[in-house]
Amino acid sequence: MRNVLQLIGRLTKDPERRPVGDKLLVTCSMAYNVNKNKSWFIDVNAWDKTAEQLSKLRKGDLVLLHGNLDIQSWDDNHGNKRSKAIINVRMSMRIPRDNDATLENGMPASDQMEYDEVAF
């Protein structure tokens, strides 16, 4: 079974860039609506070309993220088991707002879909 996830939501903070060895990691978080009364938050990781693309986005941008789901688990300082979900992004795309002036084929010219090779 293949682990593929696509989400549409808004970034809850500006993406943060940091080098990891000779690669670039960009992290941020995203909120998406589960239903009319409930939103969920998920952490986001992107590497290399996808990281470069994601780093151009800002808090509040509506985005489509395509990637795989990862669950990280750890024990906290009190010995309690903790876990969180993370989407490892392979493609990101900003969804333009109605008032975006420059659109090319329905998408901003600066938005390009590129996939990174992800080693597992």
> Which tens digits make up the pLDDT trace of 10-52?
999 999 999 999 999 999 999 998 888 998 999 999 999 999 9
Q: For residue 59, give Cα distances in angstroms to 3, 79, 108, 110.
A: 27, 34, 17, 17
pLDDT at 101 over 70: no
> Which tens digits make up the pLDDT trace of 65-82?
999 999 999 999 999 999
Q: Give rounded-to-5 percent helix, strand, coil for the chain.
A: 5, 55, 40
Q: Cα–chain-centroid distance for residue 97?
A: 18
* pTM of the shown model: 0.73
Domains and CATH numbers, the chain: 5-108 (2.40.50.140)
